[in-house]
Amino acid sequence: MLMVFRYAFLACTLSISLADVASAQVALPSAIQKSYVLGPGDVVQVEVLGQADFGTPRVKVAPDGSIPLPIIGTIQAGGLTTQQLAATVRNKLVAAQYYNNPTVNVDIATYASRYVIVLGDVAQPGLVPIDRPYRVSEILARVGGLKDNSADYVVLSPVVGPERHIDVASLSRNGPNNDPYVSPDDKLFVPEAQLFYIYGQVNAPGSYPLKSGMTIRQALARGGGMTASGSEGRVSVYRNDHKIKIPLDTPLRGGDVIVVGERLF
* Structure confidence at residue 30 (pLDDT): 58
Which of the residues in the chain have pLDDT under 50?
1-24
* Structure confidence at residue 11 (pLDDT): 38
Alpha-carbon distance of 80 to 62, in angstroms, equals 13
Walk me through the domains of the chain, giving residue ranges and CATH numbers.
17-27+114-190 (3.10.560.10), 37-110 (3.30.1950.10), 194-262 (3.10.560.10)
In terms of Cβ atoms closer than 10 Å to its own Cβ (0-12, 13-18, 19+), residue 189 is middle
* Structure confidence at residue 25 (pLDDT): 52
* Structure confidence at residue 218 (pLDDT): 96
* Structure confidence at residue 32 (pLDDT): 54
* Structure confidence at residue 111 (pLDDT): 79
Alpha-carbon distance of 97 to 250, in angstroms, equals 79
* Structure confidence at residue 29 (pLDDT): 52
